[in-house]
Amino acid sequence: MTVARILSEKGREVFTTQPHRTLKEVIDLLAGKGIGAVVVSDASMSVLGILSERDVVRVIAQHGAAALDDQVSRHMTPKVTTVTRGDTIDHVMQTMTDGRFRHVPVVEDGRLIGIISIGDVVKRHVNMIDSERQALREYIATA
C-alpha cells in the first residue's frame, strides 16, 4: 500500500497555519478540529515547519503560559521530514519510528498535498494483515 492510496481513502484535508500566528491560535485550531499537529506553510503551500501537541506542551513547560502569545515560527519544528505519494506504508512506518513523530506531511513538487498520522498508518496496516489472514484461512479451507 502506498501513501497515495491512504490519501485517497482518508482524504487530503490538511490544517495549516502561518508562521506569524500565535501559539494560542494554533492551540484553538488543534482543539477545535480534534487534530494533533498543524503544518506551518506559506501561501504557495510550501512546508515551513510543523507544530504538534507535544511541541506546545514542551513550550509551556519551558516558558510558561506567556509563550502562548509567541509566534508559531519561534517554536515550530523547522526541519520537517516529509513523504511522497509513492512511498510505501512500510517506509512511512519506519520514517515515523526513526524520527519519533506521529504526523508526516505529504509533499509533491515542493507543495503540501496531504498529511498522514500514525493512526492512519496503523489502521491500514492492521487492515492489510486482516485481509492476508482471511485469504490464508480461505486458501487452507479449500485445500
Domain ranges of the chain: 3-142
Torsion angle of C-alpha atoms 7, 97, 123, 116, degrees rounded to 10: -20
Q: What's the CATH number for 3-142?
A: 3.10.580.10
Mean pLDDT by 10 residues, the chain (143 residues): 92 93 97 96 94 95 96 96 95 94 95 94 83 84 81
Q: Residue 124 has what pLDDT?
A: 80
Question: pTM of the full predicted structure?
Answer: 0.85
- With H, G, I as helix, E, B as strand and everything else as coil, classify residue 35: coil
d(CA 47, CA 16): 9
Q: Residue 129 has what pLDDT?
A: 83
Q: Which amino acid is at 129?
A: I
Output the 3-class SS for 89-110: HHHHHHHHHHHCCCEEEEEECC
